């Protein structure tokens, strides 16, 4: 650990960890989507899909964009949790705190179509908000068309958020945080994220 921390900067270590795991996840998603594509195209009659059913290329493109940006945001936040969590037992509760915005976005994305409110203010705002956008924007895209300005604004905000979170979490990768042995607390996590630890 000491050799690694001396030879590279905390930001390089964090970006390397997140990029490597993100690339592995992207390969897995490409295999899933490729398999689904083959099944839909080759087994369309077996699956009783409607005539002319296809997945638009725009959904695939924006899916990759929101996957990469969402992974950069949440992968960095989870790396920060890992830096401040000395025991695996505490990581579960810390993960729930970090992932709760995604759960909220998912719930809104499920309930809005059932209520017939897919174009209401709440789903639109949450699909642009960087912490809920990875899930909710894709759900809105699958449900219908989304204006290009909303897609671009959401992607730009997520890119900025990812940059700020990577910078903040990289500051947590210092020896006093990694080796402190203190139990995880949400207050300590957010103070370290804001640079006040």
Q: Where are the domains of the chain?
A: 2-193
Tens digits of residue pLDDT in 36-65: 777 776 765 566 666 766 677 788 889 889
What string of DSSP letters covers 12-73? HHHHHHHHHHHHHHHHHHHHHHHHHHHHHHHSTTTTTPPTT----HHHHHHHHHHHHHHHHH
Rounded distance between C-alpha atoms, residue 99 and residue 6, angstroms: 31
Averaged pLDDT score across all residues of the chain: 80
The pLDDT value recorded for residue 190 is 72
The pLDDT value recorded for residue 194 is 72
**Residue range 128-136: average pLDDT?**
93
Tens digits of residue pLDDT in 134-153: 999 988 888 877 899 999 99
19 or 14, higher pLDDT? 19
Whole-number Cα distances in Å, 66 to 141, 146, 177, 190: 11, 14, 31, 24
**Burial category of 43 from C-beta neighbours within 10 Å (exposed 0-12, middle 13-18, buried 19 and up):** exposed
Rounded distance between C-alpha atoms, residue 61 and residue 63, angstroms: 5
User: Residue 130: which of 72, 63, 192 has the closest Cα?
Assistant: 72
The pLDDT value recorded for residue 175 is 46
**Residue range 97-113: average pLDDT?**
87
């Amino acid at each position: 650990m000491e050799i690694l921390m001396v030879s590279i900067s905390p930001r390089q270590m964090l970006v390397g960890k997140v990029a490597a795991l993100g690339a592995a996840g992207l390969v897995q998603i490409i295999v899933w989507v490729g398999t689904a594509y083959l099944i839909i195209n080759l087994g369309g009659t077996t699956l009783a899909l409607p005539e002319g059913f296809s997945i638009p290329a725009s959904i695939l493109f924006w899916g990759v964009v929101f996957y990469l940006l969402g992974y950069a945001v949440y992968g960095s936040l989870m790396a920060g949790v890992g830096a401040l969590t000395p025991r695996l037992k505490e990581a579960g509760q810390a993960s729930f705190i970090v992932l709760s915005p995604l759960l909220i976005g998912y719930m809104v994305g499920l309930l809005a179509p059932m209520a017939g409110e897919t174009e209401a203010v709440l789903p639109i705002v949450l699909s642009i908000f960087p912490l809920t956008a990875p899930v909710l924007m894709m759900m809105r895209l699958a449900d219908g068309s989304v204006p290009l300005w909303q897609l671009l604004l959401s992607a730009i905000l997520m890119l900025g958020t990812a940059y700020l979170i990577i910078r903040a979490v990289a500051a947590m990768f210092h020896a006093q945080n990694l080796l402190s042995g203190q139990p995880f607390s949400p207050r300590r996590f957010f103070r370290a994220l804001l640079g006040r630890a």
